Amino acid sequence: MSPEINLEEQFQARIDAGQKIEPKDWMPEKYRKTHIRQISQHAHSEVVGMLPEGNWITRAPSLRRKVGLLAKVQDEAGHGLYLYSAAETLGISRDEMYEQLHTGKAKYSSIFNYPTLSWADIGAIGWLVDGAAIINQVMLTRTSFGPYARAMVRICKEESFHQRQGYEIMLGLAKGTPEQKEMAQDALNRFWWPSLMMFGPRDEDSPNTAQSVKWKIKRKTNDELRQQFVDITVPQAEFLGLSIPDPTLQWNEERGHYDFGEIDWNEFWQVVKGNGPCNKERLAARVDAWEEGAWVRDAAMAYAEWKEKEKIKKAV
Amino acid sequence: MDQNLYNYLLMLGDNSMILGHRLSELCGHGPSLETDIALTNISLDLFGQVRNIFQYAAKLNDQESSEDSIAFLRNERQHYNCILVEQPNTDFAHVILRQYLFDQFQLLQLNFLLQSKDEQLKAIAAKSIKETKYHIRFSSEWCKRLGQGTEISHNKITTALELLYPFCNEFFETTEVEKEMMERGIGPNLEELRVQYFDNVTTLLNEAGLSIPQTPFRVSGGKHGRHSEHLGYILAEFQYMQKTYPNMQW
Amino acid sequence: MSDPNNKNEWPIFEIFIRSKNGLEHRHVGSLHAADATMAIENARDVYTRRQEGVSIWVVPSKEITASNPEDAGELFEPAEDKVYRHPTFYELPIELKHI
């Protein structure tokens, strides 16, 4: 047996025993690479995710809603930051990760390539998109890589208000005027299917699941998580008096779950490949912020170096 | 209703609201994640101040106004902020300098309001001043970084200074309302603040390697509801929901 | 487009927060800043938005020297059998109080 295989077995045994892996520990190259990819994609999703919601900050309908939304979008920047930090412990710089995002090499969650067309979309995103994200993230608090798990603990703690905020917005609309209720229904109609897509391809089209389960990046399959989301969300929609845009949706007594219709997988893959309604705009906004920020970042570094030299000069 | 006090509150609130709005436009577009978070924090602080001030104003006007009707339902001519705060986010240098020039004034003003004869305003000032002290720390550090950083950053903040500095005199042009507030011990004597303000600004700009522009001060009017063309667009966006869907709860 | 080997990337700082007086500073995460002054400001905005702290330490990550995980055996395992460092090692009659 080669020493490499032995190390890998020991590594897996540690994960199986519930031990955390820390950055300086030995790890298989594939483990490192998979984590860099997954954590950075997760970070990109947080940061790109600021854009669709940010689209309504300046038009929020009341001061209370405005500060709530601002704080939420700000949290997403924070969460992106925690995640980039976790990935950096694996030996990649934040700049490199940005580069991958900006050149289209790295992916982010496709849901953010859909436009926010009304205020109700802000409610729907908080309720559905954050709801779907939480299911994933709670699972990740127990993942095997220490820095990722710790970032997720912090994120889950902070995110608990996000979904409540979204649902409260929806509740207000559902109890409001016919116009407001229509706005809420329209948002649900547009965000329902993309939310289901957030859990990724069907299990049979998801070849990496087995490996991810082994490393505890995943504890349930895409389809299991999707089912969990539908089961939780349908009664919440009923409570709002809104209808889920799926004529086949039905409670299945035997399975103890809701049956639901087929996702438009063609749309799913199109958006993943960059042909969604807003892919180009989202990426362009990030690239702009980055490029226009370059001179600012450079100035701060130049100033820091100058101050440092001044300090040394004084000391001498 | 104490109309003059009410108008004075609008003046205070509008400054924070319009500047808060400008900063909120940047959320998600900052030069680094860390800076993005910091600017949003300042925006949130300002909107917090707006809410305190407008809730108090709504209480004074015990008819039917609320913080939101005050914030969202007035037209351009009924806004009393200084013209500086409505200037656009041309680049990060404009954002930082606009912030610093405002923070410096706001700090002096709040410092007086800590001893205002109006108890409510005094309480609001006590809370706000801690936030403003942090804002000015942030904005003045960044003025120095940009001023002393690279040639590019130095040039950009110099351009911003040429544009924005001439708006600063407006802070100290005492309106009738402010005059009465001063006489009643509610608001500061702006003439007294003026000297301190320009002293402090000059010191900071020197530290940042910048010199005071020789351009004359601009003719102003914001405190009388005569604004730059920017405000109309800000309000069109800011008030969109309330104007499109009147009398609804959100 | 930015250069991935950009030497101008703001360095990483490790952030330690004291959540309240009486408790020690604890590592909470990291962030980027051009210098220590900015690191304190950034840490305040990133890590204490929900009243998590009363004091902040920032340390450039590159200044931290860490023990090697491969040395864990020699570094830490020898302490395992030093039971005499724990109070339960010493047998005293149970009726004895306050000791």
Delimit the domains of chain B by residue range: 3-244
The lowest-confidence range among A190-199, B134-143, C58-67, C88-97 is C88-97
B30, B43, B149 ranked by CB distance to A289: nearest: B30
Q: What is the pLDDT of residue C81?
A: 87
Query: How far is the C-alpha of B205 from the C-alpha of B192, rounded, in Å?
Result: 21
* Residue range B141-170: mean pLDDT, rounded: 98
Does residue A279 carry a pLDDT above 70? yes
B35, B150, B242 ranked by CB distance to A61: nearest: B242
Chains that touch C (3 or more CB pairs under 8 A): A, B
A301 reaches C (C-beta below 8 A): yes
* Nearest residue on chain C to A300, alpha-carbon basis: C34
Contact A302 B150 (CB under 8 A): yes
Does residue C60 carry a pLDDT above 90? yes
Q: Give pLDDT tens digits for A208-247.
A: 888 999 999 888 999 999 999 999 999 999 999 999 999 9
Write out the two tokens for A129.
């998109």
Task: Name A282's Cβ contacts closer than 8 Å, sequence gap at least 6.
Answer: A48, A51, A52, A112, A113
Contact C41 B32 (CB under 8 A): no
A284 reaches B (C-beta below 8 A): no
* Nearest residue on chain A to B21, alpha-carbon basis: A58
What pairs with residue A250 in β-bridges?
A: A259
Q: What is the pLDDT of residue B38?
A: 97
With b meaning 16 or more CB within 10 Å and e meaning fewer, what string describes B38-63? bbbbbbbbbbbbbbbbbbbbbeebee
Pairing of β C12-18 and β C25-32: antiparallel
Q: What is the pLDDT of residue A1?
A: 52
Describe the crossing of helices B33-60 and A63-88 by its angle, rounded to 10 degrees: 160
Q: Give pLDDT tens digits for A52-65.
A: 999 999 999 999 99
Q: What is the pLDDT of residue C3?
A: 44
- Contact between C33 and C56 under an 8 Å Cβ cutoff? The reply is no
Mean pLDDT score of chain B: 97
| ipTM beyond cut 0.95 | yes
Does residue A2 carry a pLDDT above 70? no
C41 reaches B (C-beta below 8 A): yes
Give the CA radius of gyration of chain C: 22
Task: Work out the minimum CA distance from C74 to partner chain A, whole angstroms.
Answer: 15
B246 reaches A (C-beta below 8 A): no
Query: Contacts of residue A95 in chain C, CB cutoff 8 Å?
Result: 2, 4, 6, 9
Q: What is the pLDDT of residue C5?
A: 47
Query: How far is the C-alpha of A160 from the C-alpha of B230, rounded, in Å?
Result: 38
Q: What is the pLDDT of residue C1?
A: 36
User: What does CATH list as the number for B3-244?
Assistant: 1.20.1260.10
Query: How far is the C-alpha of B89 from the C-alpha of B18, rounded, in Å?
Result: 12
Does residue A17 carry a pLDDT above 90? yes
Q: Give pLDDT tens digits for A111-153.
A: 999 999 999 999 999 999 999 999 999 999 999 999 999 999 9
The lowest-confidence range among A222-236, B93-107, B159-173, C76-90 is C76-90
- Contact between C31 and C46 under an 8 Å Cβ cutoff? The reply is yes
Q: What is the pLDDT of residue C98?
A: 84
- CATH architecture for the domain at C12-85: Roll (3.10)
Reduce the DSSP state of residue C4 to 3 states and report it: coil
Does residue B64 carry a pLDDT above 80? no
Q: pLDDT over 70 for what percent of chain B?
A: 100
* Residue range B77-99: mean pLDDT, rounded: 98
* Nearest residue on chain C to A96, alpha-carbon basis: C4
Task: Work out the minimum CA distance from B38 to partner chain C, whole angstroms.
Answer: 6
Q: pLDDT-derived band of residue A4, with 50, 70 and 90 as boundaries?
A: low
* Nearest residue on chain B to A81, alpha-carbon basis: B33
Residue at token pair 């892996």: A21
B68, B245, B250 ranked by CB distance to A179: nearest: B245
Q: What is the pLDDT of residue C6?
A: 54
Contact C42 B38 (CB under 8 A): yes
- Looking at per-residue pLDDT, the higher value among C82 and B142 belongs to B142
Q: pLDDT over 90 for what percent of chain B?
A: 96
Residue at token pair 């969650």: A109
Delimit the domains of chain C by residue range: 12-85
Residue at token pair 């300002």: B46
Contact B27 A73 (CB under 8 A): yes
Residue B101: its H or E element: helix B92-113
Nearest to B108 by CA among B5, B17, B197, B199: B197
Contact C66 A98 (CB under 8 A): no
C52 reaches A (C-beta below 8 A): no
pTM, to two decimals: 0.94
Task: Work out the minimum CA distance from C92 to partner chain A, whole angstroms.
Answer: 37
Look up residue A314 and give its amino acid.
Answer: K
Does residue B227 carry a pLDDT above 60? yes
